[in-house]
């Protein structure tokens, strides 16, 4: 973060109640990314599902989130931020509770998809709400939002492990209850909408991907996110741990991701061009997956690779989305949403592809495939470096930086 953002720490605790309400709900929304991770083996066992069917909980969520990201800027620009937030929260509450009540894996997969729609609507709007309502300028708002993002990514697997230790249904009911509280908080404390921005064309995100610089970054992000979600979504199966133990492992993964995303990535981009940081991080990510493949029969070794992967992923998330922000002259929300939609679709492929590769070849083969995917992303960045020439410039403003990072990490 910039010096302005650091200065915002002094005012982070003096925010209006509406800001705290949205920040609280943001933590819960970001928890949804890794919440089901520790309970995948339990769901597979209790519902007589195959690992591939269990992984569909990630795939259905990510497919719908990715597709919805193409349209959320169009919707929020017409009905306003508060309505978009509340619609997203209602969808999450309804579909998370329905998933917890399900009696078969097919129903859970379907309701998880509905959850993804709600999450896309909420996440795409939360930052604008916090920045528009925060006291003390944009710096304190950005710090608060980044803190919410980091907490959610780290706490999601831990809560999933704690509640999943009781029953695989627990994380779903827990999320529904917490999001219902968030809904009430926003209704009561956020009394005024921020207003409706200028309408965004429905076709805007699709046209954005025709721009070479953004197209290169989106293609790289697609293959990068395959590697990301192999590490997150496939690893619970070769680890063979109980839900609580898995929650602790991925809590460590999330903490590493949050720390490097907020603190380490800015240091690296101050020392070298962003494209160089991307190439180094992608090589490191490929090596992490090779290490995971070689250590797959060693639980401590595999855990170390997962946590090391979290450290690399935090840098990648921040730097990739900063590059997206500098790649075009488009409105940042349009560019970030288009890129993130493609990236989520890459993540949707990874969980089921990993379990199928593991079943057909060997458990370690999924990690080797993820390493290859990271190297494909690296080649896209290297061969597309001419199109990416402008991304090595300075970030224009802290608000725009936070917007891009938040959408990319969602």
Q: Which residue has the higher pLDDT, 265 or 219?
A: 219
* Mean pLDDT (whole number) for 257-261: 86
CA torsion through residues 148, 152, 153, 154, sign: positive
* Mean pLDDT (whole number) for 85-104: 93
Contact yes or no for 143/19 (Cβ under 8 A):
no
CA torsion through residues 63, 66, 70, 71, sign: positive
Task: Return the exposure string of 178-198: e unless at least 16 CB atoms fall within 10 Å of the residue's CB, then b.
Answer: bbbebbebbeebbeeebeeee
pLDDT over 50 (residue 6): no
Model pLDDT for residues 297-316, shown as the tens digit of each residue? 999 999 999 999 999 998 99
Rounded Cα distance between 342 and 249, Å, is 28
pLDDT averaged over every residue in the chain: 84
pLDDT confidence band for 398 (50 / 70 / 90):
very low
Task: Return the exposure string of 51-75: e unless at least 16 CB atoms fall within 10 Å of the residue's CB, then b.
Answer: bbbbbbbbbbbbbbbbbbbbbbbbb
Give the least confident one: 10-24, 25-39, 131-145, 242-256: 131-145
* Mean pLDDT (whole number) for 167-194: 82
pLDDT over 90 (residue 330): no
Model pLDDT for residues 207-233, shown as the tens digit of each residue? 989 999 999 999 999 999 999 999 999
Residues in the chain: 410
pLDDT confidence band for 9 (50 / 70 / 90):
very low
pLDDT over 70 (residue 121): yes
Per-residue confidence (pLDDT) for residue 8, from 0 to 100: 42
pLDDT confidence band for 7 (50 / 70 / 90):
very low
pLDDT over 70 (residue 128): no
Q: What angle do CA 163, 166, 172 make, to 5 degrees?
A: 45
Rounded Cα distance between 280 and 274, Å, is 10
Q: Which residues touch 276 (CB under 8 Å, ≥6 apart)?
A: none
pLDDT over 90 (residue 174): no
pLDDT over 70 (residue 14): no
pLDDT over 70 (residue 395): no
Residue 116 half-sphere exposure toward CB, CA atoms < 13 A: 27
pTM of the model: 0.83
What DSSP element (H or E) covers 282? helix 274-294
* Mean pLDDT (whole number) for 340-356: 91
Per-residue confidence (pLDDT) for residue 409, from 0 to 100: 52
pLDDT over 60 (residue 3): no
Per-residue confidence (pLDDT) for residue 138, from 0 to 100: 47
């Amino acid at each position: 973060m910039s010096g302005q953002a650091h200065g915002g720490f002094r005012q982070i605790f003096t925010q209006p109640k509406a800001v705290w309400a949205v920040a609280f709900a943001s933590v819960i929304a970001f928890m949804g990314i890794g919440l089901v991770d520790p309970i995948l083996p339990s769901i597979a066992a209790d519902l007589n599902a195959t690992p591939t069917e269990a992984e569909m909980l990630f795939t259905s969520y990510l497919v719908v989130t990715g597709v919805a990201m193409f349209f959320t800027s169009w919707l929020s620009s017409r009905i306003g931020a508060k309505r978009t937030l509340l619609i997203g929260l209602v969808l999450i509450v309804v579909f998370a509770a329905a998933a917890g009540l399900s009696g078969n894996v097919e129903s859970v997969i379907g309701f998880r998809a509905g959850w993804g729609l709600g999450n896309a609507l909420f996440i795409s709007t939360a930052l604008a709400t916090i920045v528009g309502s925060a006291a003390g300028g944009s710096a304190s708002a950005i710090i608060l939002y980044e803190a919410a993002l980091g907490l959610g990514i780290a706490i999601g697997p831990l809560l999933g492990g704690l509640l999943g230790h009781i029953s695989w249904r627990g994380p779903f009911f827990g999320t529904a209850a917490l999001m219902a509280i968030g809904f009430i908080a926003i209704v009561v404390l956020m009394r005024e909408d921020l207003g409706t921005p200028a309408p965004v064309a429905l076709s805007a995100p699709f046209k954005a991907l025709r721009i070479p610089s953004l197209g290169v970054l989106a293609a790289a992000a697609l293959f990068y996110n395959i590697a990301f979600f192999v590490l997150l979504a496939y690893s619970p199966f070769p680890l063979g741990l109980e839900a609580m133990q898995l929650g602790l492992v991925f809590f460590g993964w999330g903490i590493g991701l949050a720390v490097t995303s907020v603190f380490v990535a800015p240091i690296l981009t101050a020392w070298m061009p962003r494209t160089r940081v991307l190439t180094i991080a992608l090589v490191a990510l490929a090596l992490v997956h090779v290490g995971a493949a070689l250590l797959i029969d060693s639980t401590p070794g595999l855990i170390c690779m997962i946590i090391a992967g979290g450290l690399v992923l935090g840098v990648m998330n921040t730097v990739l989305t900063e590059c997206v922000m500098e790649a075009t002259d488009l409105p940042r929300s349009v560019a970030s949403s288009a890129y993130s939609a493609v990236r989520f679709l890459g993540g949707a492929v990874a969980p089921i592809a990993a379990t199928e590769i593991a079943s057909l070849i060997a458990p370690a083969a999924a990690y080797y495939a993820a390493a290859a995917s990271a190297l494909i992303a690296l080649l896209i960045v290297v061969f597309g470096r001419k199109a990416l020439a402008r991304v090595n410039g300075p970030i224009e403003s802290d608000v725009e930086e936070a917007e891009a990072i938040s959408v990319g990490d969602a």
